[in-house]
Structure 1
Amino acid sequence: MIGRFISLEGGEGAGKSTQASALAAALEARGVHVLVTREPGGSEGAEAIRNLLMQGDVARWSAHAEALLFAAARADHVEKRIRPAIEAGTWVICDRYVDSTRAYQGAQGIDDAAILALHGFGSKGLLPDRTFLLALPRADGQQRTQARDGAANDRFEARDTAFHEAVAAGFERIAANEPDRVRRIDAAMAPAEVTQALVAGLADLLP
């Protein structure tokens, strides 16, 4: 049996990590074997690149350099963990994937076609079977991240409101242009309701 590949996308504080764990538990209760992973990261090489990307000053890397680093991390992640798991019949749930690069680096002026070309080379164009966009107003996301992290922000959380609004608009464009793959979920609902919506959004893929 071939596994499935699910990604969770959205802005800061949308609940991706929480919902990745909750969705995994819901699927495992149905007898599905699940691997939960994240980006950037998920493999030894990709985690090393994550440290380079997430730490330091906001201006540490240019948008072009970020796009290349994300593509390199993803290539290792796909080769070492995601593809082998899917081929072994495991369902993979990934907290962020290539759509985050499209939204975040796209918000800095990197062309979407260029990002997808890098993805085609590095990760052989692998896309999720289903992507969920956890949509949440920026103010709500800020409250959640402050409650979770206090004053500690990574290089992306620390950017201004205009940047995060551009990221949100990028995610919405992807969802509107790729409705067969991407499902939009209201992340302002109670966590249990969000999980229920995720499971319902996989009805056509579940065994």
Structure 2
Amino acid sequence: MTSTLPGYFISFEGIDGAGKSTHIDSFCKLMKERFPSREVVLTREPGGTPLGEQLRSLLLDAPMNLETEALLMFAARREHIAQVIEPALLAGKVVISDRFTDASFAYQGGGRGLSISKLNDLEKWVQGRPDGSILQPNLTILFDLPGEIAEARRSKVRAPDKFEKMNLDFFDKVRQEYLRRANENPQRFHLVDATKTPDAIWSELEAIQIHL
């Protein structure tokens, strides 16, 4: 059972290089214009809190055991939920997060091969609410892109973190796990063909119907 809170929760997802970061700030501005009576909170994972940002620097650069990596991701997420996401949703705000739990399934599960059942257990524990529901986004916008195109895009930007340095096979597995999650939750996911031009993608984002 997915949690129902007064606010509205949107996550942006996709493999590194898919282009989600190109549009998230503009989408946040669009939500502010469309819903002027609602405060819009833009955040990210891993991160979003002082502790989460410290963990982010470790997670993106320090080598570590796979299970340690997953546990730290969910530890950062627990703090993020407790300090930022849940209070904002309870106050009726719109929360837009650059990545959420689908990223853990895609990267630690699909890419790195951690047991999906372990990730399911962590998801229930970290995102469980007192009413028995599980906190999930109302809408997840997934930028879907073949790994080889994403790889070419990544090579043109900043110095890569440890995930961005991974090979094409890793990102193909990440992509497939994202698509598995989307197929299991079609009511939550909006799939964007990220091979399209930025203008075409933005037109599609503008057309998404959100009812608060």
TM-score by length of 1: 0.90
- Pairwise mapping of residues 29-48 of structure 1 onto structure 2 (< 5 A)? 29-30=33-34, 31=36, 32-48=38-54
Aligned pair count reads 200
Amino acid at match of 1:166: K
Higher mean displacement: 136-145 or 73-82: 136-145
CA RMSD of aligned residues (A): 1.6
Amino acid at match of 2:121: A
- Pairwise mapping of residues 122-201 of structure 1 onto structure 2 (< 5 A)? 122-124=126-128, 125-149=134-158, 152-201=159-208
Identical aligned residues as a percent? 35
Q: CA shift at 1:188, angstroms?
A: 2.0
Distance 1:25 1:99 in 2: 24
Amino acid at match of 1:127: Q
Q: Is 1:55 paired with 2:58?
A: no
Report the secondary structure of 2:137's partner residue: coil
Aligned to 1:79: 82
The answer on whether the counterparts of 1:79 and 1:123 sit within 8 Å (CA) in structure 2 is no
The answer on whether the counterparts of 1:99 and 1:171 sit within 8 Å (CA) in structure 2 is yes
Amino acid at match of 2:145: L
Q: CA shift at 1:140, angstroms?
A: 2.3
Unaligned runs of 5+ in 2: 129-133
Which of 113, 121, 124 is residue 117 of structure 1 equivalent to?
121
Unaligned runs of 5+ in 1: none
Aligned to 2:17: 13
Aligned to 1:95: 98
Distance 1:14 1:90 in 2: 27
Q: 1:33 to 1:199 in 2, by over 3 A?
A: farther
Report the secondary structure of 1:2's partner residue: coil
Which of 193, 197, 211 is residue 206 of structure 1 equivalent to?
211
Distance 1:68 1:84 in 2: 23
